[in-house]
Chain A
């Protein structure tokens, strides 16, 4: 199985990707849960100077995308190690599951990144104009 011998470094890369993904997902989860808490605090009236306006809707949008991304990523990170093992054991279905989850997690991450950066841009422009 020469091909699998040469594929071993890729499996090690997968292990590194898994570690980085877990760190990244932990960061995403912290960031977006904080946004959700902030949104809840606005609703609860803790920040009385913050009216429920466009800014609030932006927070909710970013937070929802972020939490969905974190959950999808968590699902992927947990499954990936198991899938990599299946691929190494020549399980043909392992490849499909690996690629399907890879597609799904990147879709969610992209939505979260886009919403976060656009919102940061909106805040930045707002501060610049102010």
Chain B
């Protein structure tokens, strides 16, 4: 195993490297699929909030729906950046690309963890009769 690069190997280690690249391909496919699938509810939530405001029927939940839609689209953006960063590691496993990938993952975690916290607050308000 070449310590300097987790993708560079020779002989029998090639199988290990293939497995490593396969794992990265699977992660990238998962992240891309989730980003694409989240666009629909994100856009719908945003449109719901905008429509509620436009027709003058905006209550707290209309505002919340719009905000949740914006946050969902933010998650989508970060997921896409993460997927692109994974693709760059696959094609060029340089240290800088690995660093970018982990940084993109950190950002995706940051915004993805805000989303359920926001949902938790909204649900708590609903359950308490807000």
Chain A residues with a Cβ under 8 A of chain B = 1-4, 6-7, 9-10, 13-14, 16-17, 20-21, 23-25, 27-28, 30-32, 34-35, 38, 66, 90, 92, 95-96, 99-100, 102-103, 106-107, 109-110, 112-114, 116-118, 120-121, 124-125, 127-128
Given A13-B102, A99-B24, A121-B41, 5 additional A-B pairs, CB 8 A: A20-B110, A66-B116, A96-B19, A114-B38, A117-B115
Contacts of A66 in B (CB 8 A): 116
Contacts of B68 in A (CB 8 A): 117, 120, 124
Q: Interface on chain B toward A: helix, strand, loop, or mixed SS?
A: helix
Per-residue A-contact encoding for B106-121, CB less than 8 Å = 1, 0 else:
1001101111110110
Among A13, A27, A128, contact of B99 (Cβ-Cβ < 8 Å): A13
Q: Say whether B48 contacts A125, CB under 8 Å.
A: yes
Contacts of A34 in B (CB 8 A): 120, 123-124
Q: Say whether A113 contacts B115, CB under 8 Å.
A: yes
Is B14's beta carbon under 8 Å from chain A?
Answer: no
Among B75, B95, B105, B123, contact of A113 (Cβ-Cβ < 8 Å): B75
Shortest beta-carbon distance, B22 to chain A, in Å? 9
Q: Which residue of A lies closest to B48 (CB)?
A: A124
Chain B count of residues within 8 A CB distance of the other chain: 54
Q: Say whether B42 contacts A27, CB under 8 Å.
A: no
Q: Assuming A1-B4, A10-B98, A13-B103, is B23 touching A100 (CB within 8 A)?
A: yes
25 inter-chain pairs at a CB distance below 8 angstroms, sorted by A residue, are: A3-B5, A3-B95, A13-B103, A14-B102, A17-B106, A21-B109, A23-B113, A24-B109, A27-B113, A92-B6, A96-B19, A99-B24, A103-B27, A103-B30, A106-B31, A112-B116, A113-B116, A114-B41, A116-B115, A118-B41, A121-B44, A121-B45, A124-B61, A125-B48, A127-B61
Q: Interface on chain A toward B: helix, strand, loop, or mixed SS?
A: helix
Contacts of B53 in A (CB 8 A): none
Q: Which residue of B lies closest to A21 (CB)?
A: B109
Q: Say whether B34 contacts A114, CB under 8 Å.
A: yes
Q: Assuming A27-B120, A38-B127, A120-B68, is B113 touching A99 (CB within 8 A)?
A: no
Contacts of A16 in B (CB 8 A): 106
Shortest beta-carbon distance, B37 to chain A, in Å? 6
Shortest beta-carbon distance, B115 to chain A, in Å? 7
